[in-house]
Amino acid sequence: MINKKRIAKTAAALLTAAMLIQAVPAHADSVHVAKEGDTFYTLSKQYGVGLNTLIKANSDISTYNIYGGLKITIPGKTNTVSAAAATNAKTITTASLDVNADNKIVQAWGKTFDYSKSVDVKATAYSADPSENGWGAVDYFGNPLELGTIAVDPSIIPLGTKVLVTGHTHPGLPKQAFVATARDVGSAIKGHKIDIFIPGSKQSVSTFGIQDVELYILK
Protein backbone atom coordinates (compact mmCIF):
# COMPACT_ATOMS: atom_id res chain seq x y z
CA MET A 1 0.00 0.00 0.00
CA ILE A 2 1.39 3.40 -0.95
CA ASN A 3 2.11 5.67 2.02
CA LYS A 4 0.90 9.03 0.70
CA LYS A 5 2.07 10.95 3.77
CA ARG A 6 5.63 9.64 3.38
CA ILE A 7 5.63 10.55 -0.34
CA ALA A 8 4.40 14.04 0.49
CA LYS A 9 7.11 14.54 3.12
CA THR A 10 9.81 13.31 0.75
CA ALA A 11 8.61 15.63 -2.01
CA ALA A 12 8.58 18.57 0.42
CA ALA A 13 12.12 17.77 1.58
CA LEU A 14 13.39 17.58 -2.01
CA LEU A 15 11.73 20.88 -2.86
CA THR A 16 13.26 22.56 0.19
CA ALA A 17 16.72 21.22 -0.68
CA ALA A 18 16.37 22.47 -4.26
CA MET A 19 15.40 25.92 -3.00
CA LEU A 20 18.40 26.01 -0.67
CA ILE A 21 20.75 25.02 -3.47
CA GLN A 22 19.40 27.81 -5.64
CA ALA A 23 19.55 30.31 -2.77
CA VAL A 24 23.27 29.77 -2.06
CA PRO A 25 25.52 30.48 -5.06
CA ALA A 26 28.16 27.83 -5.57
CA HIS A 27 30.89 30.44 -5.75
CA ALA A 28 29.65 33.10 -3.33
CA ASP A 29 32.01 34.84 -0.95
CA SER A 30 31.98 33.86 2.72
CA VAL A 31 32.97 35.77 5.83
CA HIS A 32 35.54 34.49 8.28
CA VAL A 33 35.53 35.97 11.77
CA ALA A 34 39.20 36.24 12.67
CA LYS A 35 40.64 34.75 15.84
CA GLU A 36 43.91 35.55 17.52
CA GLY A 37 46.83 34.29 15.44
CA ASP A 38 45.06 34.39 12.05
CA THR A 39 47.03 35.77 9.10
CA PHE A 40 46.21 36.09 5.42
CA TYR A 41 48.72 33.32 4.78
CA THR A 42 47.15 30.81 7.21
CA LEU A 43 43.64 31.68 5.99
CA SER A 44 44.66 31.24 2.34
CA LYS A 45 45.79 27.70 3.18
CA GLN A 46 42.82 26.98 5.43
CA TYR A 47 40.28 27.87 2.74
CA GLY A 48 42.32 26.95 -0.35
CA VAL A 49 42.31 30.50 -1.70
CA GLY A 50 45.27 32.20 -3.38
CA LEU A 51 47.10 34.57 -1.02
CA ASN A 52 47.02 37.50 -3.45
CA THR A 53 43.34 36.86 -4.19
CA LEU A 54 42.55 36.92 -0.48
CA ILE A 55 44.51 40.13 0.11
CA LYS A 56 42.82 41.87 -2.85
CA ALA A 57 39.39 40.85 -1.54
CA ASN A 58 40.25 42.57 1.74
CA SER A 59 42.11 45.61 0.44
CA ASP A 60 40.76 47.72 3.31
CA ILE A 61 42.44 45.48 5.91
CA SER A 62 46.11 45.90 6.76
CA THR A 63 48.16 42.72 6.52
CA TYR A 64 49.72 43.65 9.85
CA ASN A 65 46.47 44.40 11.71
CA ILE A 66 44.41 41.21 11.83
CA TYR A 67 42.82 40.82 15.23
CA GLY A 68 40.18 38.67 16.91
CA GLY A 69 36.64 39.48 15.77
CA LEU A 70 37.69 41.12 12.49
CA LYS A 71 35.49 40.06 9.55
CA ILE A 72 37.50 38.84 6.57
CA THR A 73 36.00 38.08 3.16
CA ILE A 74 36.91 34.65 1.77
CA PRO A 75 36.42 34.89 -2.01
CA GLY A 76 35.05 32.05 -4.09
CA LYS A 77 33.63 30.02 -1.22
CA THR A 78 30.07 29.21 -0.23
CA ASN A 79 28.32 30.88 2.67
CA THR A 80 27.70 27.52 4.34
CA VAL A 81 31.17 27.14 5.86
CA SER A 82 30.50 26.47 9.52
CA ALA A 83 32.43 27.99 12.40
CA ALA A 84 33.36 24.50 13.56
CA ALA A 85 34.73 23.59 10.16
CA ALA A 86 36.78 26.77 10.06
CA THR A 87 38.15 26.14 13.54
CA ASN A 88 39.06 22.53 12.82
CA ALA A 89 40.58 23.16 9.39
CA LYS A 90 44.30 22.47 9.19
CA THR A 91 47.01 24.08 7.13
CA ILE A 92 47.69 21.74 4.25
CA THR A 93 51.12 23.12 3.33
CA THR A 94 53.64 20.52 4.39
CA ALA A 95 57.17 19.78 3.37
CA SER A 96 58.64 16.31 3.22
CA LEU A 97 62.35 16.81 3.88
CA ASP A 98 64.99 14.57 2.39
CA VAL A 99 68.58 15.59 3.05
CA ASN A 100 71.56 14.18 1.18
CA ALA A 101 74.53 15.49 3.17
CA ASP A 102 77.12 13.87 0.89
CA ASN A 103 75.89 15.71 -2.20
CA LYS A 104 74.71 18.79 -0.29
CA ILE A 105 71.14 18.43 -1.55
CA VAL A 106 67.91 18.92 0.38
CA GLN A 107 64.47 18.14 -1.03
CA ALA A 108 61.28 19.82 0.15
CA TRP A 109 57.78 19.78 -1.40
CA GLY A 110 59.21 17.72 -4.25
CA LYS A 111 61.72 20.46 -5.11
CA THR A 112 65.49 19.99 -4.90
CA PHE A 113 67.74 22.65 -3.39
CA ASP A 114 71.53 22.75 -3.50
CA TYR A 115 73.05 24.05 -0.31
CA SER A 116 76.58 24.97 0.75
CA LYS A 117 76.27 24.17 4.45
CA SER A 118 73.79 23.74 7.28
CA VAL A 119 73.77 25.93 10.38
CA ASP A 120 72.11 25.27 13.74
CA VAL A 121 70.72 28.47 15.26
CA LYS A 122 68.44 29.71 18.01
CA ALA A 123 65.35 31.31 16.50
CA THR A 124 62.94 33.89 17.82
CA ALA A 125 60.13 35.66 15.96
CA TYR A 126 58.92 39.22 15.56
CA SER A 127 55.85 40.99 14.21
CA ALA A 128 55.29 44.32 12.47
CA ASP A 129 54.28 45.92 15.77
CA PRO A 130 56.01 49.34 16.11
CA SER A 131 57.47 48.33 19.49
CA GLU A 132 59.50 45.62 17.73
CA ASN A 133 60.73 47.66 14.78
CA GLY A 134 62.87 50.72 15.29
CA TRP A 135 62.43 51.86 11.68
CA GLY A 136 58.82 50.80 11.12
CA ALA A 137 57.27 47.79 9.41
CA VAL A 138 60.11 47.51 6.92
CA ASP A 139 63.30 45.47 6.72
CA TYR A 140 66.88 46.74 6.78
CA PHE A 141 66.64 47.71 3.11
CA GLY A 142 63.35 49.60 3.52
CA ASN A 143 61.15 46.90 1.96
CA PRO A 144 57.84 45.98 3.63
CA LEU A 145 58.15 43.09 6.06
CA GLU A 146 56.73 39.88 4.60
CA LEU A 147 56.65 36.17 5.24
CA GLY A 148 60.10 34.86 4.33
CA THR A 149 62.02 37.73 5.92
CA ILE A 150 64.52 36.86 8.64
CA ALA A 151 66.86 39.02 10.71
CA VAL A 152 70.41 37.73 11.05
CA ASP A 153 73.87 38.55 12.30
CA PRO A 154 75.56 39.51 9.00
CA SER A 155 78.90 38.22 10.28
CA ILE A 156 77.38 34.73 10.41
CA ILE A 157 74.82 34.93 7.59
CA PRO A 158 75.42 37.73 5.08
CA LEU A 159 72.46 39.92 4.18
CA GLY A 160 70.77 38.73 0.99
CA THR A 161 71.50 35.07 1.71
CA LYS A 162 68.68 32.65 0.91
CA VAL A 163 68.14 29.81 3.37
CA LEU A 164 65.80 26.90 3.89
CA VAL A 165 64.46 27.14 7.45
CA THR A 166 63.59 23.79 9.07
CA GLY A 167 62.62 22.45 12.47
CA HIS A 168 60.28 25.26 13.53
CA THR A 169 56.71 25.10 14.84
CA HIS A 170 54.18 27.94 14.59
CA PRO A 171 50.72 28.22 12.96
CA GLY A 172 51.77 31.40 11.16
CA LEU A 173 54.57 29.64 9.28
CA PRO A 174 54.60 26.91 6.62
CA LYS A 175 55.03 23.52 8.24
CA GLN A 176 58.44 21.82 8.40
CA ALA A 177 60.31 24.09 5.99
CA PHE A 178 60.21 27.38 4.11
CA VAL A 179 62.59 29.49 2.05
CA ALA A 180 63.63 32.78 3.63
CA THR A 181 65.99 35.63 2.81
CA ALA A 182 68.26 37.45 5.26
CA ARG A 183 66.87 40.96 4.84
CA ASP A 184 66.92 42.32 8.37
CA VAL A 185 69.14 42.80 11.42
CA GLY A 186 68.49 43.31 15.11
CA SER A 187 70.44 44.53 18.11
CA ALA A 188 69.76 41.25 19.95
CA ILE A 189 70.53 39.04 16.95
CA LYS A 190 74.17 38.21 17.46
CA GLY A 191 76.05 35.03 16.68
CA HIS A 192 74.08 31.91 15.78
CA LYS A 193 70.66 33.50 16.19
CA ILE A 194 67.93 34.51 13.76
CA ASP A 195 64.66 36.39 14.15
CA ILE A 196 61.82 35.22 11.89
CA PHE A 197 59.19 37.72 10.76
CA ILE A 198 55.67 36.29 11.12
CA PRO A 199 52.61 38.27 9.91
CA GLY A 200 50.13 38.71 12.74
CA SER A 201 49.69 40.41 16.08
CA LYS A 202 52.54 40.81 18.53
CA GLN A 203 50.73 38.52 20.98
CA SER A 204 50.24 35.68 18.50
CA VAL A 205 53.81 35.91 17.22
CA SER A 206 55.20 35.85 20.78
CA THR A 207 53.98 32.27 21.17
CA PHE A 208 56.89 31.20 18.95
CA GLY A 209 59.23 31.59 21.91
CA ILE A 210 62.79 30.38 21.37
CA GLN A 211 63.30 27.37 19.11
CA ASP A 212 66.24 25.38 17.83
CA VAL A 213 66.10 25.39 14.03
CA GLU A 214 68.41 24.26 11.26
CA LEU A 215 69.19 26.43 8.27
CA TYR A 216 70.39 25.19 4.90
CA ILE A 217 72.34 27.94 3.16
CA LEU A 218 71.10 27.77 -0.43
CA LYS A 219 73.41 28.22 -3.40
Cα separation of 212 and 169, whole Å? 10
212 in Cβ contact with 166 (< 8 Å): no
Class of residue 198 by CB neighbours under 10 A (exposed 0-12, middle 13-18, buried 19+) = buried
Class of residue 112 by CB neighbours under 10 A (exposed 0-12, middle 13-18, buried 19+) = exposed
pLDDT computed for residue 28 by the predictor: 54
pTM for the whole structure: 0.59
Cα separation of 32 and 68, whole Å? 11
pLDDT computed for residue 46 by the predictor: 84
Interior angle at CA 21, CA 18 and CA 26, nearest 5: 155
pLDDT computed for residue 96 by the predictor: 62
Query: What does the pLDDT profile of the chain (219 residues) look like in tens digits?
Result: 444 445 445 445 544 444 443 433 334 568 888 887 788 888 888 888 888 888 888 888 877 677 777 888 888 743 333 333 333 333 333 446 888 888 999 988 778 899 999 999 999 999 999 888 877 889 999 999 999 999 999 999 999 999 999 999 999 998 889 999 999 999 999 999 999 999 999 999 999 999 999 999 999
pLDDT computed for residue 169 by the predictor: 93
pLDDT computed for residue 90 by the predictor: 31
- The secondary structure of 18-75 as a DSSP string is HHHHHHS-TT--EEEE--TT--HHHHHHHHT--HHHHHHHTTTS-TT---TT-EEEET
pLDDT computed for residue 41 by the predictor: 82
